[in-house]
Amino acid sequence: MLCNPLHAPYHMASTVLVILLLVPIISNTVISSIALNQREALLKWKASLDNQSQKVLSSWGDSKGNDPCHWVGLACDEAGSITNISLAGSNLTGTLHGFNSLAFPGLRELNFRNNTLFGPVPSHVFNLSKLVVLDLSFNEFSGNISSGIGGLSSLSKLDLSGNNLAGQIPPEIGRLSSLSQLFLSTNSLTGRIPPEIGRLNGFIPQEVGRMRSLNQLDCASNFFSGPIPASIGNLSQLTHLTLYICLGGSLQFLAANRNHLTGRLTRLENLLLNDNKLVGNIPQEMGELSNMEHLSLAANSLMGVIPGNLGKCFRACRKAALPGTGLVVAVKKLCAPDDDQPFHLEAFESEIRALVDIRHRNIVKFYGFCTSKEHSFLVLEFVERGSLRNVLRNPEEAEKLDWDKRLNIIKGLASALSYMHHDCQSSIIHRDISSNNVLLDLEYEAHVSDFGIARILKPDSSFSTSFAGTFGYTAPELAYTRQVTEKCDVYSFGVVTMEVIMGRHPGDLVLSILTPNNHGQLMLQLLKDVIDPHLQLERKSQVLMEQVVSTLKIVVACLHPEPQLRPTMLQVYNALTNGRPSHLSKPFSSISLGDLLEASLSLA
C-alpha cells in the first residue's frame, strides 16, 4: 500500500517530536548516573572519617538530601555535576584514602584548608585535569609530593602549606602552565627548588629571611618587581645570591647601604658586571681577588689600562690554538716572581718535574713549556668542560651527572692517584686535590690537573713542609705535623668524592666523621637528605643504592682521622672497580651517617 503524500508532513513531525522527547530522558539518565556515582563516593569518604566529622557532614545523605548539590560545602553546575568541594575549617579528621576523586571529573575547586586531615595526598587527586584551585593547607598531610601533580593541567592555585610534607619539590610542578599562586611554606621539604618553576612575578616575599640555613638563593630570569626584601640580611649562611635584577638594562641606581659589609671581598669568585653603563677605570684592587675565577666587564664604557696585577697568579690559564696544527691547548702563565715571592718559580719547576714523565688517561697531558725573563708558560691539554667544581655548581650541568657518570669520575680520580702513588718511578704526592683541580672532558672523564705544589717522594718516605693546599680538602694532620705522605691525597680524595655524591662541598659532615662524638646531631642525618637531589635515588634500583652506600663506606675509610688507618689509593681503586656492592641491612631511606660510620669498610 502506497503512503498518502498528504500525510507525510504529519508523519515527519511525529518522528521529530518523539526524538525531542527522548533527548531529555537520555540526558536525565546520564546526569542521574553521574550524580549517583558522586553521591556514593562522598558517602563512602564520609564514613571513613571520625564520628565528630560525620556529625559535621550530617546533611550528607539525610532523608531530605538525596541530591548532593544541596549538601553543605558542595556546589554543582547546571547539569548537576559537582564542581566545588569547599570544606575549609570544618574540623574534619581523617584521610583522603577513601576519597574517590575519579568520581568528580568536572571538579574545579577542592578546598580542605584548616582541618586535621592526615596521611599522604593520594596520587589520584592529581588526575583532576579541570581543577583550578587545590587548597590542602594547614592539615597534617605527610609523605612526598607526587610527581603526578603535573597532571593538574588547569590549576591556577596550589596551596600545600602548613603540613608535614617531606622530600623534594617535584619538577613536574613546572608543567602547570596556568599556575599563578604556589604556597609550599611550613613543611619539611628538602633539596633544591627545581629550575622548572619559572615565570615568577610580584614581590620576593619577606618570609625568605626565615630560611636560616639557606646557602644559595637564585631568583634569576623571572619577573619579580618591588624591593629586595631586607630579611635577606638574616640569611647568615648565604654564600650565593643571584637575582639578575636588571634584565631590562634600565638599572640606574643600585644601593647596598645599611648592611654589615666590612673589609674587602677577598673571597669573591664570580663578578659579572657586563652589559651596564659603567665608566672610569678598572680599580687596581680587583687584582687582589686571588679566588677570582670569572670576571666579566664586557659591554660597558670603561677606559684606561687593565690593572697589571689582574690575573697575576699561578692559576691564570687561557685557551689557545697552536698554529698549523689545529690543536687546542691550555696555556698556563706564570709572571716573573718578585723578590718576596720565591714560591711561584718553585711551583713552576715542581709542576714540570711532575708532568714530564706522566702518561695516564686521567691526568692532563703535558705538551711543553717556555720561559723568558718576564714570563713562563706551561702548555697543557685543554679539557673541555672545565673544573668538576663548576660543573657541580651549574644546575643544568649537574642534572646531566647521573650516578654512572659520577662513579666514573670517582674511579678516574682514584686511578690517577693510584698511578701517581704506586706506578711512577718515584711516588708523586699531589697535595692539592680538590674539585677545582679535577677537570672533566666532553665524556665526563676526570683529569687531574695543577701539580703546582706536587712533591716527588722516594718510596716509604715523608717530609716536613710549609702548609699548602686548598682549605677544606687538606688532611688535618698537615695543620700540626706538617708530615706529607700519600695518605694526605687519600684524605683529599675522600672529600672530593663526598662532594661528587652530595653535589656540594661536605663542610661540617667531614668534621662529624672525624669526630663523631662531638657531632651527634649530624650523625643522625639520613643519607637520602644529603645526597645530591639531582640523582633522584628514591626512583632508582636497589643495586644502584647499594653502589652508592658501598662507595660512601670507602669514602669514610679515606677520611679516617689517623693517616695510617686510611687505605692506600691502590686499595681504594681496587675496591671501587672489583668490589661487590654490599647488601643493605636496612632500607636506604632510613640509613643515617652514623650507620655508615659504623659499617665503613676496613680497607687499610
Question: Helices marked H in 49-81 — which ranges?
Answer: 51-56
Mean pLDDT of the chain: 77
Q: Which of 146, 95, 143 is nearest to 116 (CA)?
A: 95
Question: Is residue 62 among the annotated active site residues?
Answer: no
Span 249-291, pLDDT tens digits: 444 455 554 555 445 566 666 676 766 777 888 777 776 666 6
Contact 558, 567 (CB under 8 A): yes
Q: Is the dihedral of CA 243, 247, 249, 252 positive or negative?
A: negative
Strands 240-242 and 216-218: parallel
- How far is residue 357's CA from residue 419's CA, in Å, rounded to a whole number? 12
- pLDDT of 444 > 90? The answer is yes
Beta strands 317-321 and 366-371 are unpaired
The answer to whether 294 and 271 are in contact (CB under 8 A) is yes
State mean pLDDT over 1-25. 42
What does the pLDDT read at residue 551? 92
Burial class (CB in 10 A: 0-12, 13-18, 19+), 452: buried
Q: Which of 71-75, 447-451, 520-524 has the lowest mean pLDDT?
A: 520-524
DSSP 460-527: T--EE----S-TTTS-GGGGTT-EE-HHHHHHHHHHHHHHHHHSS--THHHHHHHSGGG-HHHHT-BH
Cα separation, 94 vs 46, whole angstroms: 9
Q: pLDDT, tens digit, for every residue of 403-436? A: 999 999 999 999 999 999 999 888 888 888 999 9
Task: Give phi and psi for 538, each to the nearest 5.
Answer: -65, -15
Q: What b/e string do you get for 158-187 counting C-beta neighbours within 10 Å, with b at 16 or more?
A: bbbbbbebebbbbbbbbbbeebeebebbbb
Query: Can you say how many angstroms the Cα of residue 510 is from the centroid of all Cα atoms in its chain?
Result: 20
Look at residue 179 in the predicted model and tell me its pLDDT.
83
Rg (CA), the chain: 33
- Please give the helix or strand (H or E) that residue 391 lies within, else none: helix 388-393
In the chain the domains, ranked by start, together with CATH numbers, are 29-111 (3.80.10.10), 143-202+210-313 (3.80.10.10), 317-381 (3.30.200.20), 386-600 (1.10.510.10)
pLDDT at 410: 97
In tens, the pLDDT along 31-70 reads: 456 667 888 888 988 888 888 888 888 888 755 457 888 8
pLDDT tens, residue by residue, 183-197: 888 888 888 777 777
Higher pLDDT, 293 or 166: 166
Which residues, at least 6 apart from 525, have a Cβ–Cβ distance to it below 8 Å? 509, 592, 593
Catalytic member of 135, 432, 450, 595: 432
What is the number of other CB atoms lying within 10 angstroms of the CB of residue 433?
A: 27
- Are the beta carbons of 575 and 603 closer than 8 angstroms? yes
pLDDT tens-digit profile of 366-402? 888 877 666 677 788 889 999 999 999 888 888 899 9
Q: Dump pLDDT digits (tens) for 555-575.
A: 999 998 889 999 999 999 999
